[in-house]
Amino acid sequence: MHSDVKKVLVSEEEINEKCKELGAIIDREYESHCQPLLLVALLKGSVPFLASLIKHITLDIEIDFMDVSSYDGTESMGDIRIIKDLDRSIKDTSILLVEDIVDTGRTIVAVKELLKNKGAKEVKVVTLLDKPSRREVDVEAEYIGFTIPNEFVIGFGLDYNEKYRNLPYVGVLKEEIY
């Protein structure tokens, strides 16, 4: 365990098992769709989750990325900035938005609205982590890996000022670090 980590909240093994479970659920729910499912990953934090999740989806899928920002350090600013938009048209496309964590919900609401305005047929959300105690807007992910308490988490893509993304687990950052 990294010296800046107070405790491991979700182990690497638990993440792998949850990705298998979520992949099977997604397969079942989208098997009747005629076109490939488009997974849109939100950079940078969701990349490890996306990489693990797609290993367990047997459907035809396509992948694209968006880079949106709402955080500065440990606090959500509430202002969503689109840094990188999609590289393709999404008109009449079923989208599964891949997120590392649903916290305040502001990012998910803004991105879902943007994708729907661009003509997406449907937009659902799969998230590795859900922190409902911090919710500021009414939004829920359709597929949730783990519901966690209100602690500042790092690892498996989640960062604090761009550090700790490469940890293979989700841990709680020691308070004295931030």
Q: Is 103 a catalytic residue?
A: yes
| Range 142-147 contact pairs with CB under 8 angstroms and sequence separation of 24 or more | 143/22, 143/25, 143/26, 143/96, 144/102, 145/10, 145/15, 145/18, 145/19, 145/22, 145/49, 146/9, 146/10, 146/14, 146/18, 146/170
Nearest residue to 98 via CA among 139, 129, 76? 129
DSSP β-bridge partners for residue 99: 127
The token duo for 119 is 């003509």
Q: Which two tokens stand for residue 95?
A: 């989208």
- Which of 67, 92, 103, 138 does the annotation list as catalytic? 103
The answer to whether 160 and 172 are in contact (CB under 8 A) is no
Please give the Cα distance from 40 to 129 (Å, whole number). 17
- Annotated catalytic residues are 103
